[in-house]
Structure 1
Amino acid sequence: MLTNYVYKLRSNQTQSSKMSAWVDMLRSQYNWCLNDRICQYNQHFIQGNYFEIRTKGEASPLTCFVSKNGATGNPWKDSKSDFEGKARNPRRSAGDIQITALPELKMARPWYNAIDSTVLQQNVKRLDVAYKNFFEGRGFPKFKNRSNFTSFTFVMGVRIKGNKIYLPKLGWMRFYNSRSIPDGFTIKACTFRKRLNGWYVSISHKLS
């Protein structure tokens, strides 16, 4: 069973400034990825769903692309063989395509190298969740501004020791240990959120 504990961080000025810069860059990345998907949809599939040539199955243009020239890149994975030895090219989701393009983002905008790669990946998956919610009837994903985009998530590389937490590319950071985490826990994800009175971390953990 997953349990969430929330703590207020005691970050220094340098760490707080870095996290604020991360949020600004991640918000831009999120909005760019959303715009990329919308542009692909408007450019190629405005008339509705299409049929894949390879599988002859119906696919939704809101999450799947066939264009190799768009910013979302090649929709097909490298060739693999199934259990019968036949070659197959599984279709990649829009999120997979955009995650694969992250090295290109870092080359075009080197300042994104300051952000941990898994944080960038989770930011794309955040948009995937927004699309999933849309298909379940909860509204189309919206572009984010400073008031409604205030967090980022780690899923790897985080360590906790007493009242200190280690974050890749941010280092060790103290927090107010208001509630002890039981021994033998495994960290599944850590979400850092900026509030009016400072930074908070929500730790999702699972007991071993």
Structure 2
Amino acid sequence: MRTSYQYRLKPTKKQAEIIDNTLDMLRCQYNYQLAQRFDWYEQYRCSIDRCSLFVCHIPELKDKPNRFSQQATLTQLKIDRPWYKAIHSQVLQEVPKKVEIAFDRWLKGDANGKHSGKPRFKGKGQYKTFTYPQFKKEHFQKEKITLSKIGTVKVIVHRQIPDGFDIKTVSVTKKSDGYYITLSLDDKTVPTVKPDFDINNIVGIDVGLIDFYVASDNTRIAAPKYLRKAERKLKSAQRTVSRRKKGSNRRKKAIKKLGIQHKKVADTRKDFHFKTANTLLKKYDVVAVEKLNIKGLAKTWLAKSVNDAAWGQFISILNVKAENAGLKVIAINPNGTSQECSGCGIKVIKSLSERTHNCPNCKVSLCRDLNAAINIKARGTHALKAQSMSS
């Protein structure tokens, strides 16, 4: 089982300066290697590499830059620019890996075939994380962690690492309110499914903007709307930034305050998502959710409310927590869950403004979202039984 623990770092002034310099040097290297890829792509992306004529002016193809060829140039980089010796070699080798992932997601897409946008060059302060791909557990003792080329840094350990977990990677991140460290942990002894797993202990949830979710057992949680509640403070902080002179120290301080405000909203929302996921998984072994096109919904006139609800983050957290607990989250097709009657199954067409489901056939009358949640549960039960029969 893989999981991640994040702790806050308390570096000294000198250690913070080293981290900042490391991030800036890695940013320069990231931009340089990304530019190499773009140069090759612009010159040689045409599939024709030979000519049938006797006299040909097509230049000889250069080798396409890849992760390993760019990693091989790092030795010469340290000779030409000795200050790069201040960065741990494996940390520096992670940069070509990041470049390759970003470039391939743009051209080839991810495992599901979805393409990302064209990679961008990172401006000053936009490269925020570097990773140690190998780490010895003994370098993290009590409330201190030893990072190569940085030193021993104080850590606020708000929760202990469980017994049996090995530290696989360590990432250092700079955020608006300070520095953080993320430990990627692994324990292969944890079972994938609980021995007392019950597929009949299932609930369906219908997410929304008025109620964050309505469950098939008629429990509901109101949408917290953290962004909406913080809009006044965010607007004031943004106005302060726009009034400051570009490049001034006062503008930098104002930007930092704005970043802290945004981070507070994001952290509060994430904490709500974790607590909501725990509440569901303590009560049920299976949670059926809709497989929503959240990116599409975020392009409509409801974009701000959809992004404020952050259903994608919640479902992702729910999946991870369920997997760690040996439970299951099943995604089902949402088409027609609101229009279909949960009592008799016929379609009852209604507009989005109609919040009550009234069936003319079986006379069922209940909340529109509750009707959808019951249908989601029924579809989830059917899909789960089909999976168990096929396996």
Distance 1:118 1:50, change over 3 A: farther
**Contact persistence 1:9–1:174 (CA under 8 A):** yes
Whichever structure has more strand as a proportion of its residues is: 1
Shift of 1:40: 2.0
TM-score by length of 2: 0.41
Match of 1:141 among 119, 123, 132: 119
Report the alpha carbon displacement of residue 157 of structure 1 after superposing the two structures with TM. Answer: 3.8
Q: Which structure has the larger Rg over C-alpha atoms?
A: 2
Counterpart of 2:150, as a letter, is L
Unaligned runs of 5+ in 2: 50-59, 110-114, 189-391
112, 116, 119: which is aligned to 2:88? 116
CA distance in 2, matches of 1:184, 1:17: 35
The answer for the alignment partner of 2:11 in structure 1 is 11
Q: Does 1:188 align with 2:160?
A: no
What is the alpha-carbon distance in structure 1 between the residues aligned to residue 147 and residue 156 of structure 2? Answer: 16
Identify if the C-alpha distance between structure 1 residues 147 and 13 changes in structure 2 by more than 3 Å, giving closer, same or farther: closer
How many pairs are equivalent?
Answer: 171
Check 1:2–1:93 CA distance in 2 against 1; reply closer, same or farther (3 A cut).
Answer: farther
Q: Which residue of 2 aligns with 1:41?
A: 41
Question: For 2:61 and 2:168, how far apart are their aligned partners in 1?
Answer: 34
Inter-partner Cα distance in structure 2 for 1:102 and 1:50:
32
Ranked by relative contact order (alpha carbons within 8 Å, sequence separation 6 or more), the top structure is 1
Structure 1 50/22 Cα, relative in aligned 2: closer, same or farther at 3 Å? farther
Gaps of 5+ in 1: 52-64, 68-74, 76-91
Identity of aligned residues (%): 33
Alignment of 1:78-89 (within 5 A): none
- Residue 42 of structure 1: how far off its partner (Å): 2.4
- SS class of match (1:41): helix
Q: Larger % of helix: which?
A: 2
The whole-number CA distance in structure 2 between the counterparts of 1:38 and 1:129 is: 14
Q: 5 Å matches for 1:88-127?
A: 94-127=66-99
Give the alignment's TM-score, normalised by structure 1.
0.76
Q: Distance in 2 between matches of 1:120 and 1:203?
A: 19
Are the equivalent residues in 2 in contact too, given 1:188–1:205 (CA < 8 A)? yes
1:172 aligns with 2:158: no
Q: How many angstroms apart in 2 are the aligned matches of 1:191 and 1:177?
A: 16
**SS class of match (2:127):** coil
Q: Distance in 1 between matches of 2:87 and 2:79?
A: 13
Query: Which residue in 2 is equivalent to 1:83?
Result: none
RMSD over equivalenced CA pairs, Å = 2.1
2:158 corresponds to which letter in structure 1?
A: S
The answer to whether the 8 Å contact 2:7/2:181 transfers is yes
